[in-house]
């Protein structure tokens, strides 16, 4: 089943049509708002956050304690939709590697990671990463040491992984560090 043919997508289209028919929503304005949001939604946003956390212990601590407040420090937010979601940032360490999933649908911090990859929305990924996270990571060509923690996103809370800073990057500026960070690293299915 594709995203656009899912029962939820059909319900959303039905509600949108009702709102339009009653003059409560202008379809052109709705399209413009969506396009503007998606134009700003990018994995580069998450990469900027990670790079800042790698160079600033103060920002890193704030990010891990209250990610929503920390986002404002870099001019970002979890807003843009009908509801503001809470962002929880989980930090990879030598002992624990984090990976993110949404087992119910495909909840995902679009503003920070860009549109979600197709595999993230697939029922196979959503089910298997909970049962066999190590096997899923190996299918991505990644085999972390230590414990693997799986974080299940939902309608209210989205997760983003703070990867470990690669060795040999001491003295690098934020822009150069941000260039190392990938969307898959922010989800936890790839190293950085």
Per-residue pLDDT tens over the stretch 152-165: 999 889 999 999 99
Active-site annotation holder among 102, 116, 139, 143: 102
Q: Give the residue from 71, 67, 40, 88 showing the smallest Cα distance to 188.
A: 88
Catalytic residue at 5? no
Active-site annotation holder among 42, 77, 105, 116: 105
Give the mean model confidence (pLDDT) for residues 115-131.
Answer: 94
Please give the residue that has the higher pLDDT: either 79 or 44: 44
> What is the pTM (predicted TM-score) of this model?
0.80
| Contact predicate 98/185, CB 8 Å | no
Q: What is the DSSP letter of 155?
A: S
Angle at 179 between CA 178 and CA 185, to 5 degrees: 75
Note the maximum CA span of the chain.
59
- In whole angstroms, give the CA distance from residue 42 to residue 62: 22
Q: What local confidence, expressed as pLDDT, does residue 27 receive?
A: 75
Picking from 7-16, 18-27, 111-120, 138-147, which range would have the lowest pLDDT averaged per residue?
7-16
Q: Give the residue from 164, 170, 154, 158 showing the smallest Cα distance to 185.
A: 164
Q: Quick one: how far is CA 158 from the chain centroid?
A: 7
Q: What local confidence, expressed as pLDDT, does residue 192 receive?
A: 92
Catalytic residue at 88? no
- Tens-digit pLDDT profile for residues 171-191: 999 999 999 999 999 999 999
| Contact predicate 138/185, CB 8 Å | no
- In whole angstroms, give the CA distance from residue 3 to residue 117: 11
Active-site annotation holder among 106, 122, 139, 143: 106
Q: What local confidence, expressed as pLDDT, does residue 39 receive?
A: 55
């Amino acid at each position: 089943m594709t995203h656009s043919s899912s029962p939820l997508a059909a319900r959303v289209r039905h509600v949108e049509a009702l709102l339009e028919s009653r003059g409560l929503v202008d379809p052109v304005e709705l399209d413009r708002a969506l396009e503007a949001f998606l134009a700003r939604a990018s994995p580069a946003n998450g990469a900027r956050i990670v790079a800042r956390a790698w160079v600033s212990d103060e920002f890193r601590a704030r990010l891990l304690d209250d990610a929503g407040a920390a986002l404002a420090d870099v001019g970002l937010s979890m807003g843009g939709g009908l509801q503001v979601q809470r962002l929880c940032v989980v930090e990879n360490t030598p002992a624990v590697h984090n990976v993110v999933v949404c087992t119910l649908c495909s909840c995902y911090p679009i503003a920070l990671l860009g549109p979600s990859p197709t595999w993230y929305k697939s029922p196979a990924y959503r089910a298997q990463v909970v049962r066999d996270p190590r096997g899923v990571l190996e299918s991505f060509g990644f085999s972390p040491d230590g414990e693997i923690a799986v974080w299940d996103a939902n309608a209210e809370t989205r997760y983003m992984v703070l990867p470990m800073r690669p060795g040999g990057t001491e003295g690098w500026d934020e822009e150069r560090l941000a260039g190392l960070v990938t969307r898959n690293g922010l989800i936890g299915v790839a190293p950085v």
